[in-house]
Amino acid sequence: MSEWISGGRALQSMQQFGTKVWLYFNEAGFLVGFGSLGTTRRNWPPPNGDFQELGILPALAIQTDFQSGPKNDPPKFSDQIMNDLIYKARRLGPPILMLDVHKDNHPAIRLYERFDFQSTGYERDSYVRMSIRFW
């Protein structure tokens, strides 16, 4: 995870999109993962729709040791983080939250689908764009 946080991609995202990054810890104080949110102007629907402001989830990562639990009570760490990020995204204002996920990252795609994200049908460089509409 530290490579993303310290790499140019994270800093560029923070500057370009006003992205904010949150670190998530478990009750024992171990870093479980991180998530980020920002806004961007993109063609919607992709690839040729009108430019409009959208929420963007540039990155979500869960440490390998925490990817499988806790299961249900309390909810999985990934579910807890997604619930928090979606809550924050709703408060950003744009009616649509979008993200890009590698088309072979099936666990991540299943996670996003559990939260009602749907494929937009737009693919680029092995990444699939997914979105959720709030209103």
Position with higher pLDDT, 59 vs 96: 96
Buried b / exposed e across 51-90, counting CB within 10 Å, b at 16+? eeebbbbbbbbbeeebeeeeeeeeebbbbbbbeebbebbe
User: Which run of H or of E encompasses 105?
Assistant: none
Position with higher pLDDT, 6 vs 133: 133
Position with higher pLDDT, 47 vs 131: 131
68: left (phi over 0), alpha (psi -120 to 50) or beta: alpha
Domain assignment present for 63: yes
Position with higher pLDDT, 58 vs 132: 132
Domain assignment present for 101: no
Q: For residues 128 and 8, what is the distance between their CA atoms, to the nearest angstrom?
A: 23
Task: Give the residue numbers spanning the domain of 46.
Answer: 2-96
Instruction: Give the model's pLDDT for residue 75.
Output: 72
CATH number reported for the structural domain that contains residue 28 in this entry: 3.40.630.30
Domain assignment present for 133: no
Domain assignment present for 120: no
Domain assignment present for 103: no
* % of the chain with per-residue pLDDT over 90: 66
Q: Alpha helix locations (H) across 1-135? A: 2-6, 8-17, 77-92, 106-114
- Provide the whole-model pTM: 0.85
Domain count, the chain: 1
Rounded mean pLDDT, 21-29 = 93
Domain assignment present for 85: yes
Q: How does residue 1 score in pLDDT terms, banded at 50, 70 and 90?
A: very low
- Residues 87-128 have pLDDT tens digits of 999 999 999 999 999 999 999 999 999 999 999 999 999 999
Domain assignment present for 68: yes
Mean pLDDT for the chain overall = 87
Q: How does residue 4 score in pLDDT terms, banded at 50, 70 and 90?
A: very low
User: Which run of H or of E encompasses 94?
Assistant: none
Assess whether pLDDT exceeds 50 at residue 9.
Answer: yes
